[in-house]
Amino acid sequence: MTAMSSAVRRRPGTRTVAIGNRLVGDGQPVFVVAEAGINHNGDIDLAKRLVRVAAHAGCDAVKGQKRTLEVVFDEAKLSQPRESPWGTTNRDVWNRLELPIKVHREIDDYARGFGLRWTASAWDEQSVDDVLSLQPEFLKIASASLTDDSLISAHRGHGVPIVLSTGMSTIAEIDHAVDVLGTDDLILLHCTSTYPSRPGELNLRMIPVLRERYGVPIGYSGHEIGIAASTAAVAMGACMVERHITVDRSLFGSNQAASLEPDELTDLVAAVRTVEAALGDGVKCVYDSEIPVRARLRRVG
């Protein structure tokens, strides 16, 4: 195993992080994030519909995405051919999907009306400032940004908890990112960054490994089809579950296939609540409900 960074060797951070009035981590209810991302396809009405889907399912937060395209992508990537309902290049697609911050603010206000927290993953420093203007209760750093020291450093110093996804990253790269960020108010999400992910590549046993290594709350960001693995992640110790959501997986978009439709999201939240209740406290006892059964069935004792 790669040698641990200085951040990992220091006294680990707390096992709970406050997101607004909610504690996330040991002994706390699982925090469920509905990743609307770019599945709104540039349509504010569709974005608001995704908020309603998340609220109906019982999620705790909804997340979008904010990028300054000319900073995140070079001209060659922007000009690359790509057929879509909005044009023939990547630029055409990404311009359509990039909501102005004033629209994020409108969606934020809409989400708050349902009791949901709104945030967005920022892919460049200007977008960090834009998202911070919404006064979010937490900031999310995407797996693609984990090795960008300048960008992840820009997330610090604002008194806002940080959630960092660890997909497509080595342990050495995660060590370094944690070294840059520090462990205060940090939640890491185990993640496999394929869309959709194969069950054999989800590696849920990494959840307790990350928890032991970094001493911070560990969640799960899933891109698989269905809800079984995301539910199992809770049994493995995930304190946060994030899933992409959509109203219809057949819609145009690179994330749609790895997203949950409304009924599936509702089923996931219900399953998460069942599992967290079933986990108990690890102390063996005889429940009151077992006493009459014991009296009826045991010959001795």
111 occurs within a structural domain: yes
CB-CB contact of 125 with 148 (8 Å) = no
- Backbone φ and ψ for 191, nearest 5 degrees, come out as -160, 145
Residue 30 CA to residue 28 CA, distance in Å, equals 6
pLDDT of residue 6: 47
| Cα torsion angle, 270, 275, 276, 277, sign | positive
Who has greater pLDDT, 8 or 52? 52
Residue with tokens 């999907």: 97
Mean pLDDT of 124-137: 97
pLDDT of residue 9: 44
Q: Judging by beta carbons within 10 Å of its beta carbon (0-12, 13-18, 19+), is residue 24 exposed, middle or buried?
A: buried
Token pair for residue 39? 């599945």
For 296, the enclosing helix (H) or strand (E) is helix 291-297
221 occurs within a structural domain: yes
- Predicted model pTM: 0.93
Mean pLDDT of 199-206: 98
Residue with tokens 């590696």: 203
CATH number assigned to the domain comprising residue 56: 3.20.20.70
Among candidates 159, 166, 125, 163, which has minimal Cα distance to 144?
Answer: 166
Token pair for residue 40? 């709104």
1 occurs within a structural domain: no
Q: Judging by beta carbons within 10 Å of its beta carbon (0-12, 13-18, 19+), is residue 147 exposed, middle or buried?
A: middle
For the stretch 214-256, pLDDT in tens is 999 999 999 999 999 999 999 999 999 999 999 999 999 889 9
User: Domain of 130?
Assistant: 6-297
pLDDT of residue 301: 79
For the stretch 60-83, pLDDT in tens is 999 999 999 999 999 999 999 999
How many domains is the chain built from? 1
For the stretch 1-14, pLDDT in tens is 344 454 444 445 45
